[in-house]
Amino acid sequence: MEKMAKDLHVMMLPWSAFGHLIPFFHLSIALAKAGVKISFVSTPKNIQRLPKIPSNLETLINFVEFSLPTPQDESLPEGAEATVDIPPEKIPFLKIAYDLLQYPLNKFVADQRPDWIIIDLVSHWMVDISRENNVPLLYFSVFSAASFLFLGHPGCLAGDSQKNLRPSWESMTSPPEWVDFPSSVAFRKHEAIGAFEWIYGTNASGISDAERVATILNSCQGMVIRSCTEFEGDYLTSLNKIMKKPVVPLGLLPIVKPKARQITDGSWGEIFDWLDQQKRKSVIFVSFGSEFKLTRDQVYEIAYGLELSGLPFLWALRKPNWAIDDVDALPLGFSQRTRGKGIVSIGWAPQMEILGHPSIGGSLFHSGTWLRRVWAWK
């Protein structure tokens, strides 16, 4: 007889990037609400930076900490445990350290015997661990169905990792032949060159991202994806057709729309007071998150663009590593020239609450995978 939800134990293993950790956390919350016991596995520093577990779910979600092994060549800065802690060129070295977690995790799975393991795109070595311990494996994609159809034929990704992947960066400038409906999903030339090398090229970890994903898709029992038919119905239909194993859209996470005014004290209390005074859908919100490292030229161009637009704006800017202080992060005189018209907040920002505010009429960011849930709320 199949187990009821309250009898299930699920192990969650996200990649060490907050664009992955947070969706895995939200999925853990959703499963715990159904009574599923969760073991959420990551490193100590990453777990400390996650949101708090709702008090009524604390007995069902267990944070399991494993220290990130240090590569012998000391290629990672001290204290780096996630992509936010390092420049992009160091990410392959973070993957080397992350791959070393397979050894303590093999023992953890053997001891705990979870009913399911839900993994991310990097941990291809969990395939052997799940097989050895006879635990079924699910792949949770924080990316869209369109991205999978674009990067390679999913039926071949799940069979032969070397067949029907994108053969060159030129091939990424047009929709693939296996997309049998009108689609405009494609890279421009300069985007395609970088993306192809990043996904299919060799790196210090010794295995490409494409090979990692192909290994997982070949052996997992199914795929769950943060998407819904309302946003990409044709892509999900096509993905289901050619994957030859279950593909389950989870909807848009987080499931519950946050209240627009949860923070009322400190500088953000004042910022929300300012937003309350603006016209409905009149403010542009600018935020490139913690992962995207802007150069001085990029920051200055964004600043000049906002100034020239004449639109009211709220810019959440993480202090760049090239800036001496907060003042140095912006063009000379920018704050004085835009006083009263816009606000620049340096550091962390409550993005969900901001995006839910009625005065926000548009947003400028790096087109991360959380784009879809923004429009779901508008």
Answer whether 63's CB lies under 8 Å from 43's CB. no
Phi, psi of 361 (to 5 degrees): -110, -10
Integer Cα distance of 207 and 297 in angstroms? 33
- What residues pair up with 40 in beta bridges, in sequence order? 12, 63
Verify cis geometry, omega within 30 degrees of 0, for the bond prior to 254: yes
Residue 293 structure tokens: 């490292």
Task: Give yes or no: 20 in active site.
Answer: yes
Integer Cα distance of 48 and 27 in angstroms? 18
Closest listed residue to residue 359, CA positions, set 282, 258, 287, 274: 282
Alpha helices (runs of H) in the chain, residue ranges in sequence order: 18-33, 44-48, 91-99, 102-112, 126-132, 145-151, 154-157, 189-200, 209-219, 229-243, 266-276, 296-309, 334-337, 351-355, 371-377
- What residues pair up with 65 in beta bridges, in sequence order? 42
Residue 271 structure tokens: 């910022």
Catalytic residue among 20, 26, 124, 153: 20
Identity of residue 110:
A
Residue 218 structure tokens: 């070949």
Catalytic residue among 26, 99, 120, 153: 120
List the catalytic residues. Answer: 20, 120
